[in-house]
Chain A
Amino acid sequence: MPEPGKNYDAYLAGERPPDFMTLSGIELKEFYTAADARRADGPPGEYPFTRGIHREMYRRRFWTRRQQSGFGTPGESNRRMKFLLGQGQTGLNCNPDVVTHLGLDPDFPLAEGDIGLAGTSLSTLEDMEQLFEGIPLDRVSTTIIEQPPASAVMTAMYLLTARRRGIPEDRLIGTIMNDALNQLVGPTIEAVARFFPVEAAVRVGLDVMEYCVRRMPRWNILNINAYNMRETGISAVQEAAFALSLGADYIQRLLARGLGIDDFAGRMAFFCAMDIDFLEEIAKLRAMRRIWARMLKERFGARDPRSGWFRAAIQTSALRLTAQQPLNNIVRATIQTLAAVLAGAQSIHTTSYDEGYALPTEESHKLSIRLQQIIAYESNVTKTADPLGGAYAIEWLTDRLEGEIEALMKKIEDNGGFIACYLQGWVEKQVNEARYEYGRRIESGQQVVVGVNAFREEGEEVKLNLFRQSGGMQAKRKRYIRDYRKNRDGEKAARALGGLYKQAAAPEKPNVFVPIMEAVAAGATTGEIVDTLRKAENFTIRL
């Protein structure tokens, strides 16, 4: 591998890739010809949608620019969201903090150090109102990054915020992520199961979906979080197979509730990573679209073509960010964002170059939007749909990935589906092996990372203007929640929580979404509501 100072030698030796494998370990040939690209898919917008879910793709409408944001208090996050919209962001993507993700309030004993750090702290309905103050909920589409059971509380808060502004729920546009297994840091039992029983979380997630299917026609009920799985270091094949298999699990559970496939399939979507392997990542999304469409039609009998649309929200991989020479990350993000566009993504979050150190600043957030705008408006790749369709290597890789993804899906299916494999610990084993392999590949130089294991600058001093949390934010939130509980109508909240408990503890496990909404409206907090669900499940947090 070339090292600084040895570049002349590298040139003489023939500077070239260390091997010819994709990140998934697929060996690429010297070149591809028409004989390698046998498959003839229909045009974009036609089954099985390999070339894209719409005929015209970005000619008619660009992907949504949807940068994730959220930190500190709801008021601080509101200002950042307005800033992003002002820069030309076209959708919101709001991330609650880990305290909220876990269904806790800021005064939970282990929470204080983490309040507001990597998301915004959302405990009460007035928090949500403040987060969306001045933002037209019926005109901006919003993704709320939240896992069940907290996703039920967040959906309820959002819906009630809209209702108080006179916007009926059937006009809300957006997505609740609602994936029970992968929100935190990918599918590890260690991360997920300590604060809520996994199967009950899946059930509450389904309760939310069921409500949204029946009452909120423009709202997406699920965004399967393949991204967080991928960020553990698993391959494109594993990411795709895990996500699609999990999709099948959710479909089966929704069908079991008596919903029709065409009533909800078109409202399910995926959140995928764009890693740095340009060709493989493009082929991955094409293969996922093909598999999903076929599965919906052939296995689940969907008739509405929209039910077979594999819709993908994309985030450029943060795993590839380097702390060394951080400006290099802008180049990586450009390659990844372009890959997402050439792959036909529906929305894109471009990870900011400074996120190897902290949350993005306003400046780096803005640069991510500009990066997308330059691709959208200047590069002209948006002027024809699926410009890479028919490229021999791309078509060959698409077929090859499709085969490998389906083989792995079959293995998962034979073991009872993704959720069963997760509960049995099989998924966690795959994840841990992938993590060690990821470390080994970088350590051995098999995976070259510029600035890290090659072209490293010893003694490099990184000078970045980094994001800083506002002083005293955590103490302020803790004080807020205590004062809030003191000042509200405590009896009203307790009554609503009692109603929720009764419903949640009932042996036939009826849908808990409406009582959760009533509890939110009555002033109960995120932590109190999820605690009530914990109690109904006889679950205690063990620390």
Chain B
Amino acid sequence: MTAKARPKVIMAKLGLDGHSNGLRIVSKWLQDAGFTVVYLGLYNTAEGIIKAAREEDARIIGCSFLEGAHLYYVRRLAALARKYKMEDIRLVVGGTIPPGDVARLKKLGVCEVFTPGTPRSTIIAGLKALS
């Protein structure tokens, strides 16, 4: 398969929030659907994720949040992506996000927000459309 056929996705959690059920399950789904998953797991900084995305030449960064730090970290990710002129990178967020924050995240440049209960097919179709 060509690199384009196996789009590369960074999967990570930021900060100290250790809730990784969603990140694990979705990473597996993406892998099974033909994505190349770079699983960074827990306790990442925004800087670390951006560095990995550049080194890996990833197309998509997928971040999962449960405890409520989503706006704080997405602001940082978006600012760093701008700083390094990563115009092609696509930010995707999953997790426990209050309804009112979905629009806020999109305004910050997030392409897709997948809240709990989103079907696997919706996530895969959404990411395929971005890659």
Contact = CB atoms under 8 A, between A and B. Distances in A.
Do A and B make up one complex? yes
Most chain A CB within 10 A, of B16, B96, B117, is at B16
A92 to B, nearest CB: 21
A114 interface: yes
B118 to A, nearest CB: 9
Contacts of B104: none
What is the interface of chain A mostly: helix, strand, loop, or mixed?
A: loop
A463 B16 CA distance: 29
Interface string A508-543: 000000000000000000000000000000000001
A323 interface: yes
A110 B18 contact: no
A233 B19 CA distance: 12
A451 to B, nearest CB: 8
B17 interface: yes
Contacts of B41: 190
B18 to A, nearest CB: 4
Contact of A543 (B43, B69, B100, B116): B43
Contacts of A432: 24
A384 to B, nearest CB: 39
Contacts of B117: 322-324, 449, 451-452
Contact of B119 (A98, A185, A443): A443
Contacts of A453: 119
Contact of A98 (B18, B20, B100): B18
A163 interface: no
B16 to A, nearest CB: 4
What is the interface of chain B mostly: helix, strand, loop, or mixed?
A: loop
B28 A110 contact: no
Contacts of A451: 117
Nearest to A183: B18
Contacts of B68: 117-118, 358-359, 469
Interface string B20-39: 11001100110000000000
A98 B43 contact: no
A461 B98 CA distance: 12
Interface string B92-106: 000011111000000
Contacts of B48: 543
A102 B24 CA distance: 22
Contacts of A474: 72
Interface residues of B, number: 33
A259 interface: no
B95 to A, nearest CB: 10
Given A98-B16, A190-B41, A191-B42, A464 B21 contact: no
Contacts of A452: 117
A24 B119 CA distance: 23
A185 B16 contact: no
A194 interface: yes
Interface in B77-116: 96-100, 115-116
B45 A543 contact: yes
B14 A113 contact: yes
Interface string A461-494: 1111010010000100000000000000000000
A346 interface: no
A357 B119 contact: no
A113 B98 CA distance: 17
Given A117-B69, A356-B96, A443-B119, A99 B16 contact: yes
B57 interface: no
B18 A184 contact: yes
A111 interface: yes
A356 B116 CA distance: 8
Contacts of B99: 357, 461-464
B20 A357 contact: no
Interface in B53-88: 66-69, 72-73
Interface string A93-136: 00000110010100001111110011000000000000000000
Contacts of A80: none
14 contacts: A99-B16, A104-B16, A109-B45, A110-B45, A194-B42, A232-B21, A323-B115, A323-B116, A323-B117, A356-B116, A435-B21, A436-B28, A438-B25, A443-B120
Given A110-B16, A191-B18, 20 more contacts: A98-B16, A110-B43, A111-B16, A113-B15, A114-B69, A117-B17, A117-B67, A117-B68, A188-B18, A188-B20, A190-B42, A194-B43, A322-B116, A323-B96, A358-B68, A359-B68, A436-B25, A439-B29, A461-B99, A462-B99
